[in-house]
Amino acid sequence: MEQLKRKKFSQIISEQIKAMKKKLDISETGTVLSVGDGIARVYGVQNAMAMELLEFPGGILGMVLNLETDNVGVAVWVKLLTSKKATS
């Protein structure tokens, strides 16, 4: 009986995670005020919460860290590009 409960619980959690991945809420569009040292200051995202992910143009992601009254500070996660060495 206990094994059945665990299995059902696991199934429910798995279904909820799958459903969560499908949800994307694009409810606000902000304006980048400045960028420096990996931190972007963004205006216009009043409903942003700390630790929330924001997506910038080009698919670049950032995490909201600083909540100010008129803007938020976002740690920008830069995509690392790898290059292959040319062989001669």
Provide the pLDDT for residue 41: 97
Q: Please give the average per-residue pLDDT across 17-29, as a whole number.
A: 70
Residue 81, amino acid: L
Residue 9, amino acid: F
Give pLDDT tens digits for 55-74: 888 888 999 999 999 999 99
Distance of CA 53 to the CA centre of its chain: 2
The rounded distance, in Å, linking the Cα atoms of 81 and 71 is 30
Provide the pLDDT for residue 17: 77
